[in-house]
Amino acid sequence: MYTLDASVIGRDFDPVDPQYAACHALIALLDQQAITVIVPRLLLAEIAGALRRLTRDPIRARLAVDTLRSMPQIQLISLDDALIDAAAEIAADYALRGADATYVAVARRHGCTLVSLDREQRERAAPLVTTCTPAEALATLRPAEPS
């Protein structure tokens, strides 16, 4: 199972982004292979806020949230007290931003590989969870080419 940071999922919305191709290919492949993606429910607010500020369009921001809620492979994890405490400890011990630490805490609790485009998040979370970039995750998931 995988936890995708918002830096990955957010880019799947925007074809203009230089990282769109890798993020889109990864999310499509996870969907195709019915591999569960476990993310904190915080993702919804992050995506809604970013799209609202970018487009100045509250309707599309809500629509984006609805699409994430409706994607069959995406499992949204509510932040309970234990998870928030774990994220706080991770943020304190590994000098991660609060939102970044929340994704790490979710990945660790559910035994997921954390996929992120944020190098700092990947490097600092590495002692706790397996981390990789979207391109690295794609290389792992795609079947080897026949020789």
Partner 1 sequence: MTNETPTLDQVLDLAHKLPREQRGQLISRLVLELTTDAPPARTPMTPDEARAALNEIREHLRTLPQPRLTAGEQLEADRRGRERALLGRWADQHEEDDVHP
Q: Which residues bind partner 1 (CB under 8 A)?
A: 6-8, 10-20, 23, 46-47, 49-51, 53-60, 63-64, 66-67, 69-72, 93-95, 97-100, 117-118, 123-124, 127
For partner 1, the closer of residues 34 and 144 by Cβ is 34
**Distance of alpha carbon 127 from alpha carbon 125, whole angstroms:** 6
Q: Nearest approach, Cβ of 93 to partner 1 (angstroms)?
A: 5
- Beta-carbon contacts of 128 under 8 Å, excluding residues fewer than 6 positions away, are 90, 94, 104, 107, 108
Q: How far is the CB of 109 from partner 1 (least distance, A)?
A: 20
Closest CB to partner 1 among residues 55, 140: 55
Closer by beta carbon to partner 1, 120 or else 145: 120
Do 100 and 118 form a contact (C-beta atoms < 8 A)?
yes
For partner 1, the closer CB: 31 or 145:
31
43 contacts 73 by C-beta, under 8 angstroms: no
Q: Which residues contact 16 (CB under 8 A, 6 or more apart)?
A: none
